[in-house]
Structure 1
Amino acid sequence: MSKIHRTVVRNERYRKNAISVRERHNERKNEVYSNPDVLLEYSYNNVIFKACEATTYAQQFDRMVEEGIVSTRGLKPDAYVFDELVFDVNTDYFETHGGYEYAKQFYAEVYELAKEIAGGEQYIISAVMHADERNREASDRLGRDVFHYHLHVVYLPVVEKQIRWSKRCKDPALRGTVRETIMQVSHSKKWPMVPMTDEQGQPVLKKNGKPRLVSSYSLLQTQFFEHMRQAGFTDFERGIQGSDAEHLEVLEYKVQKDRQTVAELSDQTKQLQSQRKELISQVKNISGSIRDVADIEQRAKTKGVLEKRVELMPQDFQTLCEMAKATGKLQAENRSLRMQLQQSAVREQESRKRLRRCEEQLDAVLTETRPYREAMRVAPEQVQAFVLGICRRQQEKKRLNRQQRRQRAKGQDR
C-alpha cells in the first residue's frame, strides 16, 4: 500500500509574553529539548530564510512599533500579536524526491507563499526550516538517520486600517475623510471567522440550524496545496481542511501507528473474507457440473463395466478432466485463503492489544504531566527556566560523577 503524501499547514497565535517559548524552539536556543529526536549536532543543516533582526522576537516587535511599521492602536494589553505558520509534508515525500536538497527547494517556494500570506516580508519576524528533527519511524525502517523537514514562519498579523477625521474636527471638509492609514496588528481582523463548509462546499450547520464558524486560516490548506502545485511540486494531496496535525510525541506516534495497523489488518481481513465467500460461491456454481458427472457415471454403468475399467465417451472424459483440475485448484485456493485469514486475524488481535497498551501509557503520561502543561499555559517562561535549571544541574552532576570515576581509575592505575 503506497503512502499518501499530504501538505499540512497550521497557524498558531501567541501573546507577547509567551512568544519566547516558540523563539527558543525555532532558533534552537534551548540546551535541552523534551523531544529526544531533536539532534542539535545537526542544527547546522537548518535553513534560515529570514533571521530575526533584533536579539529576541519581542524586541523586534517593539522596534517595529516604535518605527511605525506596525501599530498597536486599539489593542488590549494581553492581545495576540504574533502568529506562526508551520508548513509540513510527511517525511517520505522528501525522501522519495531527493531528501535535504529537495526540501530546501520546496520550502524556498513555501516561503514565497508565507510572504504573501503575511502581507509582505517586512512583517515576518523569522523563518527557518528545521532539518535536525529525526524521524524515528523512517530511520528505523530505512536503517539510517532520516530527518523530518518543516518550516516555521513567525510574523505579525497586520491589516490595513484607515483612521478618519471625527465629527469634532474643526474643518467641516475633513470630517469623515481619511486622516491616515496604519498597519494595525490584529489577529482577529487578519483571520476573521467564516462559515465552515464540507468537502462538497456545502455549509456545515449546528444543531440549531445556524452555520458553524471557523477561523479563516483553516482555509490555508487549499491555498498551500494550490500554490505548490502551480509552482511545479506534485505527488502530494491536499491536507484536510482545518487540520491541526503536529509533530507527535513518541507514545502518540506509537498509538497512531498501531491504530493504522489495526485498520489495515481489518481491511485485509475483510478482503480475505470477501474472497473466500466468492470462492465458496464458485464451488456452489459448479454443483450443476457435478450433477453432469453423476450422469456420466450412470451412463458408464449402463453401457457396461469391464472389470475395473469404465468405458466413457470422449466428451465425458474431457468433462471429468476439466472438473478435476478446477476442483483441485479451488481447494488449494480455499486452503490458502483460510490460512491467510487466520494469520490476519491473529495479527489484528495482537495489534489491538498493543494499541490498548500504548493508549493506556499515553493516558498515564497525559495525567502525570497535566500540572506541567497547565503551568506552561499560565507561566511558560518561568516553567521553561525552572526545567532548564534542573536539566543543567543534572548534567553538571553527571559531569562531576564522570570526573570522579576518572580520578579513581587513575588512582588505581598508580
Structure 2
Amino acid sequence: MAEGNWSVVRVEKISAEGAQKTERHNERKNESYANLNVDTEQIARNVHFKDTGGLTYNEYFQRLIDEGKISTRGQKAGATIFNELVIDVNTRYFEEHGGYEYAKQFYEEAYRFGCEIYGEENIVSAVMHADEINKAVSEELGKPVYHYHLHIVAIPTVRKEILWSKRCKDEALRGTVKEVINQVSHSKKWKNTVPLLDENGQQVISKYGKPMFRKSYSVLQDKLFAHMTEAGFTGFERGVLGSTAENLSSLDYQIQKDKERLADIQERIEAEQVRYEPAHEVHKTMAEIEGMGQKTLTGKIAVSKDDYQQLTALAKEGITSRSEIQDLKSSVSYYQRQYFNASSAVERLQERYDRLKEKCQPFLQALEHFPKLVEVFVEKVKELFSIKEAQERKEREDRAAARKEQSKHRRGRNDWER
C-alpha cells in the first residue's frame, strides 16, 4: 500500500437558502470560482452519476414533497433540508491506479454507497469533479494532474410512524399506526447510536453515569472504507480513526464543531419553548376532563351543570379548531410553495449577479490595487459623460428649433396661399 493514501467523507448541512451556493459550485454554474484550481476548460470531464433533470435543488426537493414522498412536518424555517457528502481520496492514489478512468469507477461505487445511506430517490445530485488541478503534484510530475472527488447532495430522511391518538373514536385504532412518513431531519438521521467501547469491549460510561456513543460521522468513515474495500478498491487507508473531518485543520475543526453544537442547542431550546406552553395547557385541560363526573349505581356518569357546560364549550372549541387547523395546513402548504418559488427566483438573480461581478472583476481588482488611478479614471469618465450629455442636449435643442422653424414656415406659406 502506498504511504499516505487515505479516504475521507465529510457531511455538510445545507438549508434551502444555502442550496443555491452549493448548486452553483457543484453544477459549475458560475463563470468564475473562488477555488483558483478550477480549470474551466476541463469542466466537461466532470461526471454526473445523478442529476436533477433540469430542476434546481430546491425544486427537486419541492417535487418530492408534492408527490408525498418526503415530509417536512415539524420542521422550522431555515432548517437543514440537504446534506452534502464530499467523498475524497488524495490525488496520488488515483494517479497511481489509472487516473481519470479509475476515478470514474471508484466514485461510481462511492455513489452506490451514498444510495445505501440515503436511498437513491433522496439523492438530489451526485457529480465527480475532475476539473480541479493539483498544482503541487503537477509541478512534481511535470504534467497536468487533476484532483478527483465526489459531491453527493441528498435529503436526510428517517422513517417515522404516526399513531392514532387516544382521542380516536375507534378504540381499536388507538395507539396503532395511522401513517408512515419519510420525515426530513438531519439530527435524527445522524443520531449517535453505535456504543463507544473500551479496551475490554464494554460500553464507556460518562462521568455523569450516561452511556457514551461513537460520533455518527466517525461511523460513516468506517462504513465508507469497508464498502469500498469490499467492492475491490484497495491501496488506501481510512482517515484517522475517530475524526469526522480529516481534511480540516485542528483549529478549523474545533471552531466548526463548536458552532454546530451551539446551533443544535439553540434549536432544541427554541423547539422546547414552542412546544411547552401549548402542551402544558393541553395537559391541564385533559386532567380536568378526566376528573369530571362520578359513576352512579347504574354505571352511568353524572356530571355537574358547570362540568357539562365546560365539556360543551370544549366540544364546540374542538369542532371550530378542526376547521382552523385545516386552514392552517393549507396556508403552510401555500407559503411553502411561495418560499421555494422565491428561492428559485433568488437563484436566478444570484446567477445574474455572478455574471455581472465577473464582468466587473478587472475594475474591482484595479480599485483594490490602484485606487488613485481608478479615481482619476472615474473622474475622466464623468467628464466625458458630461461632454456627451451636453452634445446630446444641444442636438435635441437644435432639432426642436428646426422643427419650430419648419412649422413657422408652413404657417406662413399657408397664409400666403390664402
When normalised by structure 2's length, the TM-score is 0.58
Instruction: Report the Cα distance in structure 2 between the residues aligned to 1:31 and 1:198, rounded to whole angstroms.
Output: 49
Name stretches of at least 5 consecutive residues in structure 2 with no aligned partner: 253-345, 366-418
Paired residue for 2:165? Answer: 166
Instruction: Report the Cα distance in structure 1 between the residues aligned to 2:50 and 2:177, rounded to whole angstroms.
Output: 34
Give the C-alpha shift of residue 137 in structure 1.
Answer: 1.1
Contact 2:51 2:126 in 1 (8 A): yes
Deviations 1:35-75 (A, max 9, x none): 11011110111010001134210111111111111011111
Deviations 1:93-144 (A, max 9, x none): 00001000000111111111110011x2111000000000111111111111
Contact 1:49 1:111 in 2 (8 A): yes
Instruction: Report the Cα distance in structure 2 between the residues aligned to 1:233 and 1:64, rounded to whole angstroms.
Output: 34
Paired residue for 1:70? Answer: 70
Q: Secondary structure at the match of 1:392?
A: helix
Deviations 1:249-305 (A, max 9, x none): xxx9xxxxxxxxxxxxxxxxxxxxxxxxxxxxxxxxxxxxxxxxxxxxxxxxxxxxx
Contact 1:195 1:204 in 2 (8 A): no
Contact 2:30 2:351 in 1 (8 A): no
Instruction: Report the Cα distance in structure 2 between the residues aligned to 1:88 and 1:199, rounded to whole angstroms.
Output: 30
Paired residue for 1:308? Answer: none
- Structure 1 residue 244 corresponds to structure 2 residue 245: yes
CA spacing shift, 1:55–1:381, aligned 2, 3 Å: closer
- Structure 1 residue 391 corresponds to structure 2 residue 358: yes
Of residues 198-207 and 3-12 in structure 1, the stretch that sits farther from structure 2 once superposed is: 198-207
Q: Secondary structure at the match of 2:187?
A: helix
Paired residue for 2:103? Answer: 103
CA spacing shift, 1:245–1:26, aligned 2, 3 Å: farther
Q: How many residues align?
A: 268
Contact 1:91 1:148 in 2 (8 A): yes
Give the C-alpha shift of residue 388 in structure 1.
Answer: 6.0
Q: Secondary structure at the match of 1:107?
A: helix
Contact 2:29 2:351 in 1 (8 A): no
Instruction: Report the Cα distance in structure 1 between the residues aligned to 2:71 and 2:54, rounded to whole angstroms.
Output: 18
Paired residue for 2:321? Answer: none
Paired residue for 2:370? Answer: none
Paired residue for 1:140? Answer: 139
Paired residue for 2:41? Answer: 41
When normalised by structure 1's length, the TM-score is 0.59
Paired residue for 1:282? Answer: none
Q: Give the percent of matched residue pairs that are identical in Structure 1 and Structure 2.
A: 50
Q: How do residues 161-240 of structure 1 correspond to structure 2 at under 5 angstroms?
A: 161-194=160-193, 197=196, 215-240=215-240
CA spacing shift, 1:100–1:185, aligned 2, 3 Å: same
The amino acid across from 2:245 in the alignment is D
Instruction: Report the Cα distance in structure 2 between the residues aligned to 1:108 and 1:125, rounded to whole angstroms.
Output: 15
Q: How do residues 253-402 of structure 1 correspond to structure 2 at under 5 angstroms?
A: 389-395=356-362
The amino acid across from 1:153 in the alignment is I
Q: Secondary structure at the match of 1:171?
A: coil
Instruction: Report the Cα distance in structure 2 between the residues aligned to 1:147 and 1:247, rounded to whole angstroms.
Output: 20
Instruction: Report the Cα distance in structure 1 between the residues aligned to 2:127 and 2:206, rounded to whole angstroms.
Output: 39
CA spacing shift, 1:92–1:75, aligned 2, 3 Å: same
Contact 1:21 1:381 in 2 (8 A): no
Deviations 1:299-327 (A, max 9, x none): xxxxxxxxxxxxxxxxxxxxxxxxxxxxx
Instruction: Report the Cα distance in structure 2 between the residues aligned to 1:218 and 1:55, rounded to whole angstroms.
Output: 33
Give the C-alpha shift of residue 217 in structure 1.
Answer: 2.5
Give the C-alpha shift of residue 392 in structure 1.
Answer: 2.4
Give the C-alpha shift of residue 215 in structure 1.
Answer: 4.2
Instruction: Report the Cα distance in structure 2 between the residues aligned to 1:381 and 1:72, rounded to whole angstroms.
Output: 25
The amino acid across from 1:131 in the alignment is A
Paired residue for 1:343? Answer: none
Contact 2:30 2:354 in 1 (8 A): no
Name stretches of at least 5 consecutive residues in structure 1 with no aligned partner: 253-378, 399-414
Instruction: Report the Cα distance in structure 2 between the residues aligned to 1:24 and 1:12, rounded to whole angstroms.
Output: 16
Paired residue for 1:325? Answer: none
Of residues 47-56 and 143-152 in structure 1, the stretch that sits farther from structure 2 once superposed is: 47-56
Deviations 1:3-22 (A, max 9, x none): 32111111111111111111
Contact 1:10 1:218 in 2 (8 A): no
- Structure 1 residue 51 corresponds to structure 2 residue 51: yes
Give the C-alpha shift of residue 246 in structure 1.
Answer: 4.0
Give the C-alpha shift of residue 209 in structure 1.
Answer: 7.1
Paired residue for 1:346? Answer: none
Contact 1:134 1:148 in 2 (8 A): yes
Paired residue for 1:354? Answer: none
